[in-house]
A and B are shown apart, each in its own frame.
Chain A
Amino acid sequence: MKHLAITAAVLALATPAFAEYPERAIEVTIPAPAGGGTDTSARKLATLLEEELGTSIAILNVAGGGGSVGVTQFMLQKPTGYSLLATWNSPITTVPQVQQTAYQPDSFTPIASTSETAYTLCVNPDFPADTGEAFLEELAANPGKYTYGNDGIGGTMQLAAERIFQSRGIEAVAIPFGGAGETLQNFLGGHVDIYGGSISPVLPYTETGEAKCLLVTSAAPVKALPQAAGLESLGLGDEETLLWRMVLGPAGMDADVVATLSAALEKTVNDPAYVEFLATKGEIPNVVTGAALTARVQGEYDALAKVAKALGLSQ
């Protein structure tokens, strides 16, 4: 009897939740440490989203395992629309290749992608190459001579670089660091030859002339790095790998709630304040929702599976 009463009370509470979503605070899990690129992007977006949805948003950082710890913990949440995941692509499309994760790309309800940027490869000004093409030729001519810093073994950055290297038969020594900041420090100190990582940390050093960025991992060149070649111009357009961010929900979410959320995200991501904020980090907004987002995740997952396999990193 008591049990019935509780069930009825829960139903009474739960039913209008779908009618007037959202009616209480939303909890967003970020599978990365506070202060990093994914964290700042998500927190800034959350402040705008709070206004748009008229509810408060609590943020929980669960770092570790290249993102898999936070994502796995999130997977157990109920698909009520009050638990969301704000992540970058690596934990979803890269990590399952190199770790045995409990989730696959299709274990979530895709809501919307938010922004994207390329990775870049930079060298010091004395490096004997000044263009993307010459850079790859120099690497190909000296197998095993150059070291490049990256964001961690089996991370998207490493796979993005190896994807390019493999198609040109290049062998470079990967040195994994804890993140782009640490890579930058070791690059500036001359401990590694090549900086590999996101654009934003190294950008100021291209202006002071301490870094020469010769390649980006996107098909098109990046405006902020005029010297860096896009992959299209090198005939490697198919090998594009981006760093992009998205918001996901647990599998089995209500379609109306997903629609409310993706509409709200589309609006806030394209808010001039957010676009301007993204620009300071070298990122551009790119909202993809629904089936197109599912296809994007799956396509990247399949392409990186091949690279991971060739590198012997596959699980």
Chain B
Amino acid sequence: MGLISEILGGVFAAGPIVAMIGASILGVFIGALPGLNPVMAIALLLPLTYSMEPLVALGMVAGIYNGSMYGGAIPAILLRIPGTPAAIATTFDGYPMAQKGEAARALKIACWSSAIGGVASAIALMTIGPILARATLYFGPAEYFWIAMFGMASIGVMVGSDAVKGLMAAALGLLLGTVGLDQLSGVARFTFGEVWLLSGLDLIVILVGLYALPPVISLAEASDIKGLSASDLKLEAVKVPWSEVRGLVPTWLRSSLIGIGVGILPGAGGNIAAFLSYNAAKSASDQPESFGTGNPQGVAAAECGNNSDNAASMIPALTLGIPGNVIAALVLGALLIHGLQPGPQLFHQNPGLVGGFMVQMLLTSLLILAVGGAAATRIFAQVQRLPGVLLVPMILVLMAVGVYVINGRVIDLWVMFAAGAAGYILEKINVPLAPIVLGLILGPMAEQSVRRALLISRGDPTELFTRPLSAVIALATLGLVLWPILKGLKARRRPQAQ
């Protein structure tokens, strides 16, 4: 009892509360602007809090992290520009909904799904976190290879109408992922003697180009010089009927579990949680063909998935001292600066602080409902009232500034431009873009883990299949690939029987 009041006393002090609310609003904006990302914002703002108490810093991290994962959905739905890599899957159904005049409904579903995913994840962090953290240690390089393969299997939902072109795009993404210094041999691959290429192609730079430039060109082509009137926007508060909410519950449950599962594995990354959730929702649906045409289930799955990995990704950092992603590393760095030693003893030695951070992850997820639902969404909707021709250069400027500040170099702007021009053409000739990004995300993980596994087994490939855990994940991957095929066969057989 003493512990709980200590935790709550710490969290509900003036400083942490202001930090959480301010950071949640800020987070939504950061997520919504393509190019700005939570990692950069947290890295820039954390040092400002070094002189304050730790819960102010942690509240800020929690707010920006949770807020930005929802914020990414706003431009994904309104403009088909994902604000963060994790919001790509949100564009699949969110933008078609907006085109059907259901932007407000899509935003509301995204908002609730994000909040629910975040809350589920925070609860996992508070309850089963320490137990799960130990389990992640059984995942060695062989298992990580299969997790990457598991993620690649979700390409099935992105290839669109032309499977060959989809696979070709994925292979191109994997190939682009090999650019840079090979971590296992130190060999520079496809760098053409350019030093900046040693670190590989930056995911955010490619993403901003690939996904933001084509919509900008389309906006210019449409050449709208009037802007939408308020009534055209149809953003008045919509009611989502209770029956529909009930229909979303299984999706929320499934996506939360997937997000937590992916989030807890160090290095697996939240960008794939949304893809996996979307894939799972489509496989489970009675009408898989309605996905991609504006099915609210798709928005719910993607947004719930990308928020439910947030708090879970803190589990290995807080319980083992192993940062699973850059944000977790920043949190550990901040704890160190405040004189705390990350590791298995962290919670025992500082229960008030660690517990407080867990509560903050929960509260900031709920704050999404307040700041995301009301204020931020409405402000962003106003953006759409600007004439399209004014939006064109403004988005361009935001893309440029966001990309430039990542590494502080002009050449990144040209990489973005090239990716965008290529993306514009590819999309017009039926080559889907999402597989390229997925390949870029998962390729390095797949290659490095398989080669590490082979180094450890001294070149024996059976190790990849025979460690009990690697066999399980390999079978699950196979199942994921075969499931839609089997389902399709069954569906085809049924009408024949009749």
Contact A182–B266 (Cβ < 8 Å): yes
Given contacts A185-B137, A185-B320, contact A281 B336 (CB under 8 A): yes
Contact A203–B50 (Cβ < 8 Å): no
Contact B50–A47 (Cβ < 8 Å): yes
Contact A73–B195 (Cβ < 8 Å): yes
Nearest to B142 among chain A residues (CB) is A191
Is B393's CB within 8 Å of the partner chain A? Answer: no
Is B132's CB within 8 Å of the partner chain A? Answer: no
Q: Digitize B31-72: 1 where CB-to-A-CB distance is under 8 Å, 0 elsewhere.
A: 000000001001100110011000000000000000000000
Q: Digitize A185-205: 1 where CB-to-B-CB distance is under 8 Å, 0 elsewhere.
A: 110111110000000110111
Nearest to A201 among chain B residues (CB) is B321
Partner of A181, one of B136, B195, B329: B329
Contact A39–B333 (Cβ < 8 Å): yes
Given contacts A61-B43, A65-B195, A173-B455, contact A35 B333 (CB under 8 A): yes
Interface size grouping (class) on chain B: 35 or more
Q: How far is the CA of A200 from the CA of B342 in the complex (A)?
A: 9
Which chain A residues (159-216) contact chain B, with CB distance < 8 Å? 173, 175-178, 181-182, 184-186, 188-192, 200-201, 203-205, 207-208
Is B181's CB within 8 Å of the partner chain A? Answer: yes
Contact B199–A189 (Cβ < 8 Å): no
Given contacts A34-B39, A185-B266, A188-B137, contact A175 B180 (CB under 8 A): no
Partner of A34, one of B139, B267, B326, B342: B326
Contact residues in B for A65 (Cβ distance below 8 Å) = 180-181, 195, 198-199
Q: How far is the CA of A130 from the CA of B251 in the complex (A)?
A: 53
User: In angstroms, how far is the closest chain A Cβ from the Cβ of B300?
Assistant: 32
Contact B39–A43 (Cβ < 8 Å): no
Is A46's CB within 8 Å of the partner chain B? Answer: yes
Q: Which of A112-120, A147-155, A234-242, A254-262 contacts B (4 or more CB under 8 A)?
A: A147-155
Is A136's CB within 8 Å of the partner chain B? Answer: no
Partner of B320, one of A35, A176, A188: A188
Q: How far is the CA of A73 from the CA of B412 in the complex (A)?
A: 13
Contact residues in B for A66 (Cβ distance below 8 Å) = 181, 186
Contact A176–B183 (Cβ < 8 Å): yes
Q: Digitize A267-280: 1 where CB-to-B-CB distance is under 8 Å, 0 elsewhere.
A: 00000000011001
Given contacts A33-B329, A185-B316, A204-B345, contact A62 B407 (CB under 8 A): yes
Contact B181–A181 (Cβ < 8 Å): no
Is B185's CB within 8 Å of the partner chain A? Answer: yes
Is B409's CB within 8 Å of the partner chain A? Answer: yes
Contact A181–B322 (Cβ < 8 Å): yes
Partner of A186, one of B140, B320, B340, B345: B140
Contact residues in B for A63 (Cβ distance below 8 Å) = 199
Is B250's CB within 8 Å of the partner chain A? Answer: no
Which chain B residues (444-498) contact chain A, with CB distance < 8 Å? 448, 452, 455-456, 458
Q: How far is the CA of A181 from the CA of B330 in the complex (A)?
A: 13
Contact A189–B140 (Cβ < 8 Å): yes
Nearest to A62 among chain B residues (CB) is B407
Contact A98–B186 (Cβ < 8 Å): yes
Contact residues in A for B336 (Cβ distance below 8 Å) = 40, 200, 277, 280-281
Contact B326–A178 (Cβ < 8 Å): no
Which chain A residues (286-314) contact chain B, with CB distance < 8 Å? 313
Is A226's CB within 8 Å of the partner chain B? Answer: no
Which chain A residues (52-103) contact chain B, with CB distance < 8 Å? 59-66, 68-69, 72-73, 98-99, 101-102
Q: How far is the CA of A207 from the CA of B47 in the complex (A)?
A: 30
Is A44's CB within 8 Å of the partner chain B? Answer: yes
Is B225's CB within 8 Å of the partner chain A? Answer: no
Is B344's CB within 8 Å of the partner chain A? Answer: yes
Q: How far is the CA of A152 from the CA of B333 in the complex (A)?
A: 21
Q: How far is the CA of A184 from the CA of B188 in the complex (A)?
A: 26
Nearest to A31 among chain B residues (CB) is B199
Q: How far is the CA of A181 from the CA of B322 in the complex (A)?
A: 5
Contact B329–A59 (Cβ < 8 Å): no
User: In angstroms, how far is the closest chain A Cβ from the Cβ of B145?
Assistant: 12
Partner of A47, one of B51, B198, B320: B51
Is B339's CB within 8 Å of the partner chain A? Answer: yes
Contact A276–B456 (Cβ < 8 Å): no
Contact A153–B332 (Cβ < 8 Å): no
B: residues with CB less than 8 A from A are 39, 42-43, 46-47, 50-51, 136-141, 180-181, 183-186, 188, 195-196, 198-200, 266-267, 316, 320-323, 326-333, 336-337, 339-346, 407-409, 448, 452, 455-456, 458
A-B CB contact pairs (8 Å), 22 listed: A34-B326, A34-B330, A35-B43, A36-B333, A40-B337, A43-B46, A43-B47, A62-B199, A65-B195, A73-B408, A73-B409, A99-B186, A175-B455, A175-B456, A176-B184, A182-B322, A189-B139, A191-B140, A207-B345, A208-B345, A281-B336, A313-B186
Q: Known A-B contacts: A64-B198, A65-B195, A203-B343. Give 5 more (CB < 8 A).
A: A64-B200, A152-B186, A175-B455, A184-B322, A208-B345
A: residues with CB less than 8 A from B are 33-36, 39-40, 43-44, 46-47, 59-66, 68-69, 72-73, 98-99, 101-102, 147, 152-154, 173, 175-178, 181-182, 184-186, 188-192, 200-201, 203-205, 207-208, 276-277, 280-281, 313
Listed from nearest, the 3 A-B pairs whose CB atoms lie closest are A64-B199, A204-B343, A35-B329
